[in-house]
Every structure is written in structure tokens, then in C-alpha cells.
Structure 1
């Protein structure tokens, strides 16, 4: 998965989280689930970003 695609997925998940939180509250089980999914996506993005930085430093 490339970074641009991942960023699109992150933005979509962020929008979903905001909608769910608005409808059900920030502490609703669904909002917590979406927040955890967003966290996983952001961690994956960080890993990809760190890997790309390491590749640039090696060159």
C-alpha cells in the first residue's frame, strides 16, 4: 500500500469517527472502535514514513 492511498483511508476513517462521535458520543463503543482503527492506521503510516526516511538516509 502506498502512502497516498493510506492517507485517503486515514481521512475517510477520521470522517467516520467524527460522524459516529457526533451521533453517539465520544465514549460510545462504536466511537472507541473507530478511534482504535484510526490509531492503527496512523501507526502504520508512521511505520511507512520511518521506513522511507531510512531508505533516503542510506542512499
Structure 2
């Protein structure tokens, strides 16, 4: 999923730059590409933030289980 988003972002960025070079940075299509890139970038950030949060919870739970087992040993 992450790689797919990165590829789409790069593809749109290249298209946006081509349109900007031909028609100028203030062309409406440049704005549309930029907005679409922003949406994809936000999705990427949400995905990466979710991935960072999951291991943290597991590590905390695993530590708790180890502490409980050690107390009974």
C-alpha cells in the first residue's frame, strides 16, 4: 500500500510539473494535481502513523505479560 501511494504521488508530481512548465504554475490543472497529491500524501501519513502505533501497544502488553510471569516464577 505504501509503495503504491508513493508511486501514485510521484506520477502525479511529474504530470503536475509538465503542466506547470507548459502552462504556468497558476494553471487550474496544476492546482488539481497539487490537491490530489496532498490527498495521497495525507493517506500515506495516516498509514505510517497507524503502523507506528501498533508495535508500541504490542510491546507494552508483552512487557506486562513478562512481568506477571516473572512474579510467579
User: How far has the Cα of 1:27 moved from its partner?
Assistant: 0.9
Query: Normalised by the size of structure 2, how large is the TM-score?
Result: 0.74
* Equivalent residue, structure 2, for 1:18: 17
Once the two structures are superposed, the pairs formed by residues 19-34 of structure 1 within 5 Å of their partners are: 19-34=18-33
Long gaps (5+) in structure 2: 59-73
Partner of 1:44: 43
Larger RCO: Structure 1 or Structure 2 (Cα < 8 Å, ≥ 6 residues apart)?
Answer: 1
Shift of residue 8, structure 1, vs aligned partner: 0.7
Structure ID, larger Rg: 2
Partner of 2:5: 6
Aligned length: 58
Question: Which ranges of 4 or more aligned residues in structure 1 deviate by more than 6 Å?
Answer: none
* 5+ residue gaps, structure 1: none
